[in-house]
Each structure stands twice: as structure tokens, then as C-alpha cells.
A and B are shown apart, each in its own frame.
Chain A
């Protein structure tokens, strides 16, 4: 791009210069395509932001700078210097971004733009459609539109105006790795638009345009159709992996676990209502850190848009829930496991547990819709499950001494002895986990008047003496016992489905339920329900005792435990079972080689066809664009020799230029008038003392084009096609 004033470009063709009106039409068309290109590049951000949030921003950012560039250059015969255009577009961007995104607060524009990268990279995809994040695609698309328009106005390059949009597409591609949806349609559109731009900018004849535009669109569609079937290996590079995750945050001053006892004491407090496809346990918080006294959350909450990442380890059933908050305090947002989309409420989520929190405490009357993919558990898989050993599970495995004590506490060995005694006859990890739940259900009794709390001492009292408590004690005691024998465990605070039916449930404070979860490899966190059936005042006659998933899970757990016993497992207590966990073929087995073989059958011919069609074009382009006139003349000669191959020119290197010309003159009527002068030019460029000039190179290519035309006429379609499709066309003569 030149930085000085320049006249509007005129296409360099052999034909006489096109009329000014035609040039204007071409330029306007190119600018419209630049707008579409910038918009298409920006649309690739749809994996980063929700489509609805993105489209208005992209539209403004794609159109405004192009219009500005056109206005700056249009009325004049010579365009303004570039620096004026740059200043104008910078001012315009600040103005429009400030007005449209920040509602007139221009002071935050710069800071928001500076922090938008990090904000986007630390948000779950799709990122929330907040102005401080949307400013990033706005600025990038603006830059792409501005750069493309300037290139279109100031240069004669054919496809260069598309480069900024392609760059934006690449950035969006990077930021949107692992985002929802696919960018293949966008890539196809982009490819088609680049083709259209090239055709328009090359100043071809209308016939060319008529044939070329559908061809460009067809190339784009072909890429979109074939792309998904290409066998790609390896994980996509995700820049988020290089960004330091935010530290664990204390989301609420009072742990939900500490509220359980109080809620059970006043069980009729109306927390929220749910309209849902099926009754489920509504999860509120997951607490996976235990210091001997309190359970806390180690969740690293990150801002999320409407979509939350999926846990791919188990089958899922879709459940849509509509929550209306009543008296539920705090920032924890109830939802069935595992929420996938949230609408109506800005939330942050912990990708590990899927727990949702709101930025501010929930208000009465607030409503939101959650779509969850509820896990389905398979008894066979559960039977073979082994304890997880990943970092998340390791963090949920420790049983530390109580804070403030210096001496070793006696509770932990006592818990371990008890747990080992309970599970001594169990062969597998899953059986031990299930046995612990069985033991607690039968050995203790549900009693809301039991001693509240969940410290080591209180749990020892609960297990050894009182044997009465609420789900708070059952769940935390289970978690401590499980951890003592090496099972990674955590506790979840939530609610039972509530009172009601026909798709609508009222959830009260008395429906609060705490349950433990144990992490198994390849399966994830599996809930257990060690709390016995509730009795007493807090139990409503029409309340749903357990969610559908809980019921299915308990049945699967019983089946898994029985299944293993029937098969006579031989694992030792406390040691991993000898049998490796069965891995479902549809999830993790590698693609069999024959699949690639079958896929290659249609792909190889397609790739070959693409190669023989594209490689000669690229070769010609390389020859045409040689760095020096001598190189371009050599390129013209090589192109001519290649063309004469269609009429039988042997591929020998011992022929001089005039010998080749003589051969061509004999075989191609009318070609001698171009072959002889071209041979002279070639000889001069190779052997004369003075190097040739650019005009000589142009003259050489004019002869080459004429020769090519004459050869095409002489050789005939069939022969040319056979030659083009021959593998020889992949390499230069």
C-alpha cells in the first residue's frame, strides 16, 4: 500500500483501458465485497459470542469504515493521503464504539479494548455479550474493513483487500477453538467472497464474471462439504490453555452447607419454583475442599455466556428447566446437572463442576431457563469403574488435620478403620463406595434435630454416638469415610425436586439435600445418596422424594454392585481391581484404520483432481510473477513449452529456443509469428549482456498467451483434457 496520494487504480490488462464508469462500478462492487468479507471474518466470532450479540456489532463495524473510506476518496480524482484516512477512521471508531457499545462513555473505550483480549480468553464460550468483550470483534472487524477498503482503493492487487478479513477470521478461529458450532460455513463463505473479489478486481469480461462467481461459490461449497470428512489428527491449539486461570473465588460469605441446618429447621420457606421436563435434584453448590472444619468450594468461576462446556464422559439426557426465584438467598444458582445453556441470567460457571453463580445475590421474582444434559449411568460401566486419579480427584482426596492443631488428630485413623471395616468384603472401588452409602443409610437415622455441623469431632460423634442427623451429616460423613480409604469425594448442596407434579414443582427450604459424589475414571463424579428416607415434619406427603436421575442411579448402583458379586471379583481391599475398566467403544476407541481406508477411496481421487487442476494454475501464477523481468521471460518460455507439450513437444532439455519454436511452428498453424519473437526474447534475456526490461517480459507473456490460445485451438478439448488430467501436469516440464 502506498502512503502517498495515488490515482484510483486501473486494471492492468492487455485490453485497452476500461471506461471510467466501468472502473467505478468495479470499485463499488469490490467495496461491497470487502464489507461482506469483513462481516464474514467477524462472523467467525460466533463460536466466541452468541450470534444475536454479535451480528449488530459486526454489521456496524464492517459497513462504517468502508463507507468512510469511500467518502474520503470518492468525490476526488485523487485519494487523500493515507495518514488522513487512518486518523479519520480511528476517530470514527472511537465515536461509534463509544456510542453503540458504551452508550456514550468514551472514557472506558480504550481500557475495554486493552482488556478485551484477556477477558475473552478467560471467559467460557460463548462469552457473555458484554460491551467490554464485544469491543474486540468490533475493533478487529473495523480494522479489517478499513484495511480492505484502503487496499481496494489504493492498490491494483486482486485479492489483497481480502487479507485483513482472512486475518480476522484466523484470530476468531483461534479464540473460538472449542466454542459451539462450526466455522466451516463461514470459511466457505469467505473463500467464495475472496474468489468473487479476485474476479471483480481482475477486470474480467462479463462472461468471466457469470462463470467465475458461481465457480467461486462452488469452490467454497466444496470446501464446506468436504472439509468435515478430512481425516484430521491432533488437538486444536487452544490459546486459553496458555492463559492463567483466575484463582478460586469465595462467591458467598455463607457456605450453603452452613445454611442446611437452618433451612431444615424452617422447612416451609419457599425457595424457588421450577417448571421442567422431569423432576431432578437441583444442584446449588459443590464443595470439594475440606480442612477438617469447613467444606469450601475450590471452583474457578469464569464468566460464561449462554452456553456452558459439556462434560463429555457420560451419556446425557436433555432436561429444560424454568426457575423462578422466591426466597433463595445468595449467589448460587440452582440447576440440574449438567447445565449447558442458561438464558435470562448472567452467570459465571466452574467448568469442573458445572456449578453456576450469579454476579449478584438472587432476587425474588428473578427467572431464568436452564437446559441441562442430565447424566445417564450404565451399571456395567459403574461396576468396572476405578477411582479417578486426575488433578481434580487428587484435590478431593485429602483428609488434613484440623486447622490450628499441631498434634496428629485421632479422628482420621478412626474414620479409616471404620471405612475399612465397612468395606472389607467389597472387591471393587465402586462396591466400596456403594457399601459406604448402604452402611450410612442403615446405621444412622434421619433426624433434623440431630447435632448440626460437619467437623471431624461432630462427624465422629454422629458416626459413633448419636447416629442421627440430616443429609448434611450423612453426606459429609460419607465423604470423609470415602476419602479415608482413597476414594476421591466431595459434597453437593442442592434440593430435592420439590412438591408438585405435571411439570411444575415448588421447592422449599425443607427440600434441601446434601449428597456426596465420588470421582471415577472415565465416568466422572457419581452421586451417592447415603441419607435415609426422610420422616417427620419437614416431609410433605406430595413431595417427590428423589429426582429421576437419582432413582435411575440408585438402581444402576445396586445392579452394578450385584453384577460384580455375581462375577466373583477378586480385587483386594483398598487396592485397585485387577480388571481394567471397560471403555465404551463409541466414546474412546480409536477410529479403525479401515475407516480411513474407506474415506480415502473418494478423497484420493478428489485430491488428485484438485491437484491436477490447481497445480498448473499455481505454477503459471508463479512463473508470471517472477521477481525479475528475466525470470518472468523464463517463466513465459516454460509456460510455452508446457503448452506445446499438448501438440507433442518432447520433454527434452537439449532443444534450443529456436528449435522449440521451429517445432511449434510446424505443429501449430499461425504460431510462428509468436514463437520466433518469443524465442528471440528468451535468448536475449538469457544470453545478452544487458538484462531485459519489464516491457520485454510483458511482451513475452503476450506471445505466450497467444501461443496458448493457438495451441488450445489446435490440440482440441479431448487431448488437452487428457493432458491436464495426466499426473505429468503436477510437475513442470
Chain B
């Protein structure tokens, strides 16, 4: 942001503070997750968009560590659920147990009742257990014995899955994939980052020793502020055009849903605030579209045979939709 931009308002100042805190959080996580600044920022965007993150990659690249580090950087309650085929829904949501002293059933919350829930190897859980997450991920509440129980705010599920070892796994259904704001891959670190990781062991900062950069209240304030980021009318139009391009594409069997549009809009607002702006720009849409939309698309078998990917198709849509040229004010 340059000094010559006149007309900067209070919202710009608040956006500046947002960006400052966002940068501090990202920097804190980067102390553990080296060389993955983009993934770190995307994870934070998910948290501040009140979305959920699906980390998919091979074992050992830091998926769980990222989830744990993110949780550790925020002064909030976090839990971890290791998904296995015999994991029951009640193991996730909690159970009602009869209390003989007062002759009443009392609800004992499961690990899902936390601000950040790390669902490790989610695709190893049975479909029944996976579906137990559907309600809480979308509605942020759990219904046990007909009684609804709200989860705390902020609430974020960071799920990991391994795409290689698929034996004995249960691929996530489309309905559940659609509930994840983003799906990202960690990827291998570059040479320098990996060297830095090795050099920092065992004296490098441990996750448990990371400082808490932001409290739960701070995160809630940031979420509220991001919701007030200005989006010009032409940008809504642009965003919808990008999403709509995936629905009529011949290589796509199932396009992005309106939930995808809403999710993208939320993420765009947070990205704008994280950049210190009080308004969103097309660069925000372009920067997030692939991460938010791609995992919701189902390609035709022919397209898959040709080696096309959902990310390619989203990029194609972005290259075809004109950026709005006139002011929306």
C-alpha cells in the first residue's frame, strides 16, 4: 500500500492490523513448517474464513505437523482424532451416559468439541463415522439423542489423507468434499528448507513450545472483520462467472456448487484483508479459485484419461473470464 493512495479510510487501517496479525501467525507457523509459506497462509485463510481444510499428500511431508502447529499458534482448544476403520461416530461426537447419582443422562462431548480438530487420515474412517462430521462441519453443531450441542467458535476441521496407500480406505463422498473450503497438497520441501529442518533438529522449536500469537477472541474479531471487506458488484459478477464456467465445461461431469461460490467469496475477503486491503480485487479470486473449486469438480472419464486435472480446468476458466474493467463504485 503506497502513501500516494488518497482516500484511505479507517477500514484500511484495520485491514493493516489484520494483515499484521495474519503475518505474525504465518511467521510463527513457518518456524516449524519451513518453506511452505503458501500452504501456511492457505491454512490460515481457512481458519479465518470459518472453513475446513483437507490436506492430501504422501506421508511424512508435514500434514499433521501443519495442523498441529496451526492449532498450537492460536490460544484455542485443539484435539486430534486418528481415524481408523473401527472408529465409531460416538467416538467423534460424544455420548450420553446415565448418571446414577441424579438418574439422568449426561452428555459427554467427544473430541469434535474443540476450536481446531485435526482429523488424521480421515479416509481411513468408515463412511458412517465420516458422515458424523457432515453436520458439525456445515452447521457447527452436533445432535445426540435429539439434543443439539454447539461446537465452540472458531471451529475448524483440518483433515489429512494419504492418496497413495488406498487399501482399506473409504474415499470421502462428494457431499463431504464440498464441505471442505480448500484442499491443498503439502508437497516435498525444497532443498534449502529441508536442510533447514535437519539443521534445526533437535534444538529447533518444538510445537509445544511455540508462542500463542493470537487468542480465540482475536481470531473471532479477525473473522468478523473479514466479513465486512468490501466486494464491488462487478467482482461478484466475475466470481460467479468463474464458478459458472465449471458447470458447462465438456470435461467436467459435476461442476462447482453455489456453496463453492460462497466459500470462494469468504476466502477472497480474508485474502484481501490479509493483504492489508479493505476491498477485494480480482487477484484474490484468481489466487484462490483453484484451491477452493478444484476438489469439488468431478471430471469425465475421458478428461481423466487425457490427463486433465481439475486444477487445469479452473485455470482455463480463469484465463477465459474477462476481468471487470469498469468501476463498481
Contacts and interface: CB of A to CB of B under 8 A. Distances in A.
Contacts of B5: 680-681, 684, 696
Given A634-B325, A653-B325, A687-B232, A696 B280 contact: no
Contact of B286 (A656, A681, A683): A656
Given A654-B319, A658-B283, A680-B5, A688 B324 contact: no
Interface string A429-458: 000000000000000000000000000000
Interface residues of A, number: 28
Nearest to A628: B327
Given A687-B235, A687-B279, A693 B322 contact: no
A696 B6 CA distance: 6
Interface string B4-17: 11110101000000
Interface of A: 630-631, 634, 652-659, 677, 680-681, 683-693, 695-696, 699
B161 interface: no
Given A654-B318, A686-B232, 10 more contacts: A656-B282, A687-B231, A687-B234, A687-B327, A687-B328, A690-B7, A690-B9, A691-B327, A691-B329, A695-B6
B230 A689 contact: yes
A249 B67 CA distance: 110
A634 B328 CA distance: 12
B194 to A, nearest CB: 29
A655 to B, nearest CB: 7
Interface in B219-254: 230-232, 234-235
A118 B79 CA distance: 99
A653 B319 CA distance: 9
Contacts of A687: 230-232, 234-235, 279-282, 327-328
Nearest to B230: A689
B262 interface: no
A652 B324 CA distance: 12
Interface class of chain A by DSSP: helix
A688 B277 CA distance: 9
Contacts of A655: 323
Given A654-B320, A656-B323, A686 B7 contact: no
B326 A634 contact: yes
Interface in B71-127: none
B323 A677 contact: no
In this complex, the member of A677, A683, A688, A693 whose beta carbon has the largest number of chain B beta carbons within 10 angstroms is A688
Contacts of B325: 634, 653, 686
A20 B286 CA distance: 53
Contact of A630 (B234, B278, B322, B329): B329
The 7 A-B pairs with the shortest beta carbon distances in the complex, nearest first, are A653-B322, A689-B230, A687-B232, A688-B279, A683-B281, A656-B282, A630-B327
B321 interface: yes
Nearest to A687: B232
Interface class of chain B by DSSP: loop
Nearest to B322: A653
16 contacts: A630-B329, A653-B322, A654-B323, A656-B283, A656-B286, A657-B323, A680-B5, A683-B279, A684-B279, A686-B281, A686-B326, A686-B327, A686-B328, A687-B232, A688-B329, A692-B6
A634 B2 CA distance: 18
Contacts of A683: 279, 281, 283
A681 B325 CA distance: 13
Contacts of B318: 654
A681 B324 CA distance: 15
Contacts of B327: 630-631, 634, 685-687, 691
Contacts of A630: 327, 329
A655 B325 CA distance: 10
B164 interface: no
Interface in B268-318: 278-283, 286, 318
A677 B7 contact: no
Given A654-B319, A656-B286, A686 B324 contact: yes
A689 B11 contact: yes
Contacts of A631: 327
B1 interface: yes
B278 A689 contact: yes
Contacts of B320: 654
Contacts of A653: 322-323, 325
B4 A689 contact: no
B7 A656 contact: no
B232 A696 contact: no
B7 A693 contact: yes
Contacts of A684: 5, 7, 279
B278 A688 contact: yes
B74 to A, nearest CB: 30
A205 B242 CA distance: 50
Contacts of B319: 652, 654
Given A630-B327, A658-B283, A687-B328, A680 B2 contact: yes
Contacts of B328: 686-687
A656 B324 CA distance: 9
Contacts of A695: 4, 6
A691 B279 CA distance: 12
Contact of A654 (B9, B281, B321, B326): B321
Contacts of A656: 281-283, 286, 323
B4 to A, nearest CB: 5
Contacts of A659: 283, 286
B328 to A, nearest CB: 6
Nearest to A633: B327
A689 B278 CA distance: 8
A652 B321 CA distance: 10
A80 B80 CA distance: 83
Contacts of B7: 684, 688, 690-693, 696
Contacts of A688: 7, 230, 232, 278-279, 329
A691 B280 CA distance: 15
A348 to B, nearest CB: 65
A297 B320 CA distance: 82
Contacts of A685: 327, 329
Nearest to B280: A687
A655 B280 CA distance: 16
B1 to A, nearest CB: 7
A689 B280 CA distance: 10
Contacts of A690: 7, 9, 329
A598 to B, nearest CB: 45
B2 A677 contact: yes
Contacts of A654: 318-323
B313 to A, nearest CB: 15
A685 B281 CA distance: 11
Contacts of B286: 656, 659
B12 to A, nearest CB: 9
Nearest to A693: B6
B120 to A, nearest CB: 37
Contact of A686 (B11, B234, B278, B322): B234
In this complex, the member of A680, A681, A683 whose beta carbon has the largest number of chain B beta carbons within 10 angstroms is A683
Contacts of B231: 687
Contact of A680 (B1, B278, B321): B1
Contacts of A689: 9, 11, 230, 278-279, 329
B50 to A, nearest CB: 23
Contacts of B282: 656-657, 687
A688 B280 CA distance: 8
Contacts of B1: 680
In this complex, the member of A634, A658, A690, A695 whose beta carbon has the largest number of chain B beta carbons within 10 angstroms is A690
A680 B326 CA distance: 15
Nearest to A685: B327
A630 B6 CA distance: 12
B259 to A, nearest CB: 24
A699 B235 CA distance: 25
A639 to B, nearest CB: 14
A686 B232 CA distance: 8
B276 to A, nearest CB: 11
B184 to A, nearest CB: 22
